[in-house]
Structure 1
């Protein structure tokens, strides 16, 4: 029986305000993507969605998810603006836990955050896990 040693990722110190700014950008992307789902659901259900109390609760939940995501982004963005630039944090362990490759790249140092991927483009992508 062999025992594999788990190596911890190399220490990757980054400025905390910059890391938080990248998290904010990801949260805004999430809000945008969630927001884009709502009209699609309305198109699928036509008028029956609006007439169903359960469907309306789902749509309200989607709206609430968008509001909460944007609220978290604004909260973190405000905090990031108050943190001294010289404060650093080791992001190596946290980055190792991010499984989505695009998100991993976006949260890594030096990434310029593009706008969220349009649903038409994202619809052709498929990841099996």
Structure 2
């Protein structure tokens, strides 16, 4: 199933700290989703995959991607604490560039709870791109 096309957003000013904290949340989601790949690769390939230098490089790359996503989230989270609440930004152009409906919704105005990606899909479910 494909995600619905996201309609362009009119001019929308928001508090910069609120926008950045939604980005932080999305980065943590990305780290979590990437982290879930590694055990699946090991399950598919079995213990023998650990003997391949190329596979080890891929697994190390997955680990690095998770660390980088979390590091960026922590960095943005930390600097966001120093930004005054009255600092406003227009997020409409940036939101118009986000084509994934779930991510667009998560980054749009308003508080969100939980993950933007559905983590409880049944096995075998997938989206067409």
**TM-score tier after normalising by the smaller chain length:** 0.7 to 0.9
**Aligned residue for 2:29?**
29
For the pair 1:117 / 2:118, whether they are aligned, the reply is yes
CA contact (8 A) 2:9 2:95 kept: no
Structure 1 gap segments, 5+ residues each? 1-7
What does the per-residue CA deviation read over 1:92-114, in whole Å, with 9 as the maximum and x for residues that have no partner?
01000001100000000113131
Q: Distance in 2 between matches of 1:42 and 1:35?
A: 12
What does the per-residue CA deviation read over 1:47-102, in whole Å, with 9 as the maximum and x for residues that have no partner?
12111000000000000000000000000111111100000000001000001100
- Helix, strand or coil for the counterpart of 1:73? helix
Spell out the pairing of 1:84-95 with structure 2 (5 A cutoff).
84-95=84-95
Whichever structure has more helix as a proportion of its residues is 1
Q: Distance in 2 between matches of 1:54 and 1:42?
A: 13
Structure 2 gap segments, 5+ residues each? 1-7
Q: Tell me the C-alpha RMSD between the 2 structures.
A: 1.7
For the pair 1:64 / 2:64, whether they are aligned, the reply is yes
**Aligned residue for 1:40?**
40
